[in-house]
Structure 1
Amino acid sequence: MFEGEDTTASALSWILYNLVRHPEYQERCQQEEIEWDDLAQLPFLTMCIKESMRLHPPVTVISRCCAQDISLPDGRAIPKGVTCIISIFGIHHNPLCEFTYAPWFSVFCQVYDPFRSDLENIKDRSPLAFIPFSTGPKVRNCIGQTFAMSEMKVALAFTLLRFRVLPDDKEPEPRRKPELILRAEGGLWLRVEPLSVGTK
């Protein structure tokens, strides 16, 4: 089991980093109205969260033990009892996975594009093309994913309601540091600028 604080903190850091690099998306998130009764009323912010978790999944790898022999497309098989390492990061960045849903995986898979998660774009996508919270039977899935999404939406919505998040020009472009949780070497350094009253 992972601590939810570490994974959520990693996700929040990378989401803010991506919104800093795309101020037009940050501004659009700031214009969404916060509805406590239904956090799903932040559709664009939700798409930004999901796209950031595609590019920077907080947990980059998971392992699964095969409960039965698994036949591979090339004719080989993975025997029952073998533990397989599944790269969530690799799945989210693999341009060869276009067979699942072409617009999702393409030569532009490194581009931050929140519209990949638009309902119209995901309707034909394989459910295994995007697995930031792991996947599998209920006991193998992240039990805190609904809470984590709500927590991220609230933290981001209230941050963006009060601040404009800006790059720290003194810091170099961050390098990913995949440990148990995906981090950035030396951290992710950003600046915040208070929004004037009445901006929103």
Structure 2
Amino acid sequence: MKTFLLTCAVLAVTSLAGCAGVRTEVQATGMRHAPQGDLRYRFMRTPAQQADPGQPGWESQLRDALAQHGFSDAGDANDTHEARGAADATQGPRYLISVAYETRPTGIAVRSAKCANDAHICDTNDASHDASPFAGRYLHRLTLRFIDARSGEEIYKVTGTRLDRDAHASPAFGYLVKSALARFPFDGGRWQIELRETDDGKQADVVSVKPLAP
């Protein structure tokens, strides 16, 4: 009996530990081999990102993660170079990196058959969101696009997604940065990333990287 109870306790702890992990999904297209040589880059910003006070924080996390793969931010150096009127394009960054991040609800409205047959008798507020397994959940998506600074051609694109119940964008961002750069580059396709959960998501450790069926 004692052995049985001990076994149950161990299984319970293991189960709880498994639940504490964070899983994300990554999809990538483009280059399949790590680039060599010049790995300087500069972030591309939309007008909205330029005006967003939180943008430097996002970029700081990305900058640290990219540095682990040998990349260096040439933004400041390039700005100084341009300000001096230099015309040598080879002094600029090799890559331009576009960053897109969004958080949106994933609730799916499920309506009764009578609404489908006679929609005007049902108000949208009558839809049963609880009928959906995704009700009250949020999708966080981070997309990084690597563009050749000289040709303007997109050479690599990686998108990471996470589904949770947190409407705030900040906690998921760190996990998605870790996921999107868990390998650089990913060999195309879809991947499931498992990370160890942290209080802020910024220092999450990658536990496993597994390919998903197409």
Which structure exhibits the higher relative contact order, with contacts defined as CA atoms closer than 8 Å and separated by 6 or more residues? 2
Short-chain TM bin = under 0.3
Q: TM-score, normalised by structure 2?
A: 0.26
